[in-house]
Amino acid sequence: MEKLLAELKEKIVEILNLPDVAPTDIPENEPLVGGPLGIDSIDVLEMVIMIEKDYGVVINNRELGAKVFATLRSLADYVQTHAAEPAS
């Protein structure tokens, strides 16, 4: 799980183009959307695409997305549970 959390942090910084944020700056148990990183609904769409492409995990409705993207840890838990292949 720790490896997946670290991997997700790196991918989030990269795909959301957060030059002033280090992966280690992303809290695991604080709100991901609307939190200190300023992640908004457009950013969530980019993360959904990344999760589908990289892990084969589909997040296909708003209610599910709200639960999955509540925190980084909830995202990692969902990916780990639903990934088509074990997360690397």
For 11-45, the pLDDT digits (tens) are: 999 999 998 999 999 999 999 988 888 899 899 99
Domains assigned to the chain: 1-82 (1.10.1200.10)
pLDDT for res 88:
47
Angstrom distances, CA of residue 78 to CA of 16, 19, 21, 28, 75:
20, 26, 24, 14, 5
Across 41-57, average pLDDT: 94
**Averaged pLDDT of the chain:** 91
pLDDT for res 57:
95
- Percentage above 70 pLDDT, the chain: 95
Structural tokens at position 2: 């720790």
pLDDT for res 34:
86
